[in-house]
Chains A and B, each alone.
Chain A
Amino acid sequence: MSLLQVEGLGIEFGGVRAVHDVSFAMKPGEIVSVIGPNGAGKTTLFNMISGVYLPGSGRVKLDGEDVTGMSPHLLARRGLSRTFQNLQIFQQMTVLENAIAGYHLQESGHLLADLLNLPSSRRRAQVAREGAQKLLERVGLGRAGEQEAGNLSYGALKRLEIARALALKPRVLLLDEPAAGCNAVETEEIDHLIAEVAAEGVAILLVEHDMKMVMRISNHIVVLDHGEKIAEGDPATVSRNPDVIAAYLGTQEAADADG
């Protein structure tokens, strides 16, 4: 059975169909990429799956359970975690604290224990801190822990978001352009990291503009254009699909005409 199942998902904004009737499914350990020209509805699709937008139609199922429109914090409990295209970092907190925040569900206990600094509260925080430090090392930020997050470079913040998302020990991980703004070396590191995480059995849904990366690591690709799925399949099949080529070339011509 598939871990994440998206059935006929759609949403309208002010009468405009942003996403229409998109379906696909993911198994544990699979890397599925959503590609398409700018404005194709990739991030909107992500926002519906992760509970940020309430879908107008269709359903999202996690492990067979209908989780359509469920609030993000409840989805987090069920093992769905994500990163953001436009960074959503806790700017006033340190890098380490950002990663610890990812342990919220594991470290949070009773409010009174926290107010009184009881040993149980300290113990939970310590476990989270150690885990967070390991995750920072895994994404190459092991030495940056005490810095204020706002001071990191764009690429480093992208990796920090991944570390934070991994802290939830997710079963499904949604990555929205994880390599955007990263240099070639950083992109390759993220590439390895994604493959590693998938090998541990996490289903990864990826939006990425770096086509080389997408073709290299994806098991399955879903192509969106104007909010609709125009093709899906393994990388080789999709890259030969005439509709996909037309969609990409089409936008290229349009862009040239605009220019």
Chain B
Amino acid sequence: MKLSNKQATLLVLALLIAITPFFFPSSYYYRVGSLIFVNGIAVTGMVILIGYAGQISLGHAGFAGIGAYTCALAPVHLGLHPGLALVLGAVISAAMAWLIGRPILRLKGYYLGVATLGFGILVSMVLANERDITRGPDGIEVPDLGLRGLLKDMGLNLNNSEFWYGFTGLALLLGAWLALNLFNSPTGRALRALHGSEIAARTVGVDVARLKLQAFVISAVYASVSGSLLALQNKFITPDVAGYMHSIEMVTMAVLGGAGSVLGAIFGAGILTMLPQVLTVFAEYEQLMLGLVMMLVMIFMREGLLPSVLRLIRGRGE
């Protein structure tokens, strides 16, 4: 039986998540793994926005900030369970994305980039300056999700990093499944159509403004969930989660890995999360090497790492 692209992607992802722990030299790598998955979730949202719909955002860390701080604040001020706080964060992010998306998605290209950048900076400024609520730039502690304790009672005893590796891995699989469903659905086709030619999409009846807004809201929810999971995992969060560096990172991971494919973008998240750890052998030249790698990939592999490599392999096979 021939696997569809969706099945193949999910299978590869599930196998990677399940098998790599057997090769971990120390439990520290569970932590690196779950960081990759958390970034992978945000980046999967970017695939929907950038890869499918062809729109750019340089401010999506703002939504990650909303997700993260909702998990920190809602349990304390509203008495909400941290898990429900994650959901609330996603709802707030979706509402914010819907509100700001309506005016700014009329912009195109770098105008849209700058407008979204502004939104991200706004969120991180609010988080850093509203000390009475957020405790400012030093950060704030986040309550425990409590799920690990629950699993322990049920007889599944995992240490903290193992639990988060598994939990964020499953969340990433769910996120990838949704994004892959979307790709081949009527909505996904309409998004890719407006990416290809906005005017032609409109003439076949695509309500371009509405579709762009949908993609923007969905990707904001992904970023928000990613921020929430980061906060819950670290049990501590600072306004940096909403900072523009984090926004740029999301876009870079997606584009470097291949913004057109879910697996490619997650691969990009993996590379850019791990590379700084690997490049420490270059000591003070670490950042220099990182920049160089990024430039070389973009010059020689414009579709992104994974799609280019796959094309190369297929080309050899024929």
- A-side interface residues toward B, CB under 8 Å? 50-52, 71-73, 75-77, 81-82, 84, 88-93, 97, 100-102, 104-105, 107-109, 111, 113-117, 121, 124-125, 128, 164-165, 167-168
Given contacts A114-B186, A124-B186, A125-B185, contact A104 B204 (CB under 8 A): yes
Neighbour of B205 across the interface among A77, A90, A97, A114, CB < 8 A: A77
Docked-complex contact B206 and A93, CB < 8 angstroms: no
Stretch from B18-26, B63-71, B194-202, B294-302 contacting the other chain: B194-202
Q: Is B277 an interface residue (CB 8 A)?
A: no
Docked-complex contact A109 and B192, CB < 8 angstroms: no
State the CA gap A93–B52 with chains docked (Å). Answer: 11
Docked-complex contact B204 and A92, CB < 8 angstroms: no
Q: Is B258 an interface residue (CB 8 A)?
A: no
Which A-B residue pairs are the 10 nearest by beta carbons? Answer: A90-B196, A114-B185, A76-B205, A88-B200, A72-B202, A117-B181, A105-B205, A114-B187, A88-B197, A107-B186
Distance to closest chain A CB from B197 (angstroms)? 4
Neighbour of A125 across the interface among B186, B192, B200, B207, CB < 8 A: B186
Docked-complex contact A111 and B214, CB < 8 angstroms: yes
Docked-complex contact B206 and A88, CB < 8 angstroms: no
Docked-complex contact B186 and A84, CB < 8 angstroms: no
Distance to closest chain A CB from B145 (angstroms)? 24
Given contacts A104-B189, A108-B187, A109-B186, contact A84 B200 (CB under 8 A): yes
Interfacial residues of chain B within 206-240, with CB under 8 A of chain A in the complex:
206-208, 214, 218
Q: Is B193 an interface residue (CB 8 A)?
A: yes
Neighbour of B196 across the interface among A77, A91, A117, CB < 8 A: A91
Docked-complex contact B186 and A104, CB < 8 angstroms: yes
Interfacial residues of chain B within 176-190, with CB under 8 A of chain A in the complex:
178, 181-182, 184-190
What are the residues of chain B within 8 A of A90 when measuring CB–CB?
Answer: 192-193, 195-197, 200-201
Interfacial residues of chain B within 131-186, with CB under 8 A of chain A in the complex:
178, 181-182, 184-186
- B-side interface residues toward A, CB under 8 Å? 178, 181-182, 184-190, 192-193, 195-197, 199-208, 214, 218, 260
Docked-complex contact A92 and B186, CB < 8 angstroms: no
State the CA gap A125–B88 with chains docked (Å). Answer: 32
Given contacts A81-B203, A90-B195, A128-B186, 13 further A-B contacts (CB under 8 A): A52-B199, A73-B206, A76-B202, A89-B196, A91-B196, A93-B189, A93-B196, A102-B204, A104-B186, A104-B193, A114-B186, A116-B178, A124-B186
Neighbour of B181 across the interface among A52, A77, A116, CB < 8 A: A116
Given contacts A90-B197, A93-B196, A114-B181, contact A121 B186 (CB under 8 A): yes
State the CA gap A124–B196 with chains docked (Å). Answer: 22
Question: Which single residue of chain A is at the shortest CB-CB distance from B183?
Answer: A114
Given contacts A81-B204, A116-B178, contact A88 B189 (CB under 8 A): no
Distance to closest chain B CB from A107 (angstroms)? 4
Docked-complex contact B197 and A89, CB < 8 angstroms: yes
State the CA gap A104–B188 with chains docked (Å). Answer: 11
Given contacts A104-B206, A108-B187, A109-B186, contact A88 B214 (CB under 8 A): no
What are the residues of chain B within 8 A of A164 when measuring CB–CB?
Answer: 200, 204
Given contacts A92-B195, A93-B192, A125-B186, contact A104 B200 (CB under 8 A): no
Distance to closest chain B CB from A174 (angstroms)? 9
Question: Which single residue of chain B is at the shortest CB-CB distance from A105?
Answer: B205
Question: Which single residue of chain A is at the shortest CB-CB distance from B187?
Answer: A114
State the CA gap A167–B201 with chains docked (Å). Answer: 13
Neighbour of A50 across the interface among B201, B203, B214, CB < 8 A: B203
What are the residues of chain B within 8 A of A117 when measuring CB–CB?
Answer: 181, 185
Given contacts A115-B181, A116-B181, contact A92 B207 (CB under 8 A): no
State the CA gap A100–B190 with chains docked (Å). Answer: 10
State the CA gap A165–B201 with chains docked (Å). Answer: 11
Docked-complex contact B186 and A73, CB < 8 angstroms: no
Distance to closest chain A CB from B55 (angstroms)? 15
State the CA gap A52–B196 with chains docked (Å). Answer: 17
State the CA gap A50–B205 with chains docked (Å). Answer: 12
Docked-complex contact B199 and A72, CB < 8 angstroms: yes
State the CA gap A75–B204 with chains docked (Å). Answer: 9
What are the residues of chain B within 8 A of A75 when measuring CB–CB?
Answer: 203
Docked-complex contact B192 and A104, CB < 8 angstroms: no
State the CA gap A227–B190 with chains docked (Å). Answer: 35
Question: Which single residue of chain B is at the shortest CB-CB distance from A72?
Answer: B202
Given contacts A76-B204, A84-B200, A104-B205, contact A115 B193 (CB under 8 A): no
What are the residues of chain A within 8 A of B201 when measuring CB–CB?
Answer: 90, 101, 104
State the CA gap A232–B112 with chains docked (Å). Answer: 46
Distance to closest chain A CB from B304 (angstroms)? 13
State the CA gap A117–B181 with chains docked (Å). Answer: 6
Neighbour of A73 across the interface among B196, B208, B214, CB < 8 A: B208
Question: Which single residue of chain A is at the shortest CB-CB distance from B210?
Answer: A73
What are the residues of chain A within 8 A of B207 when measuring CB–CB?
Answer: 73
Distance to closest chain A CB from B253 (angstroms)? 21
State the CA gap A101–B193 with chains docked (Å). Answer: 7
What are the residues of chain A within 8 A of B214 when measuring CB–CB?
Answer: 111
Docked-complex contact B192 and A92, CB < 8 angstroms: yes
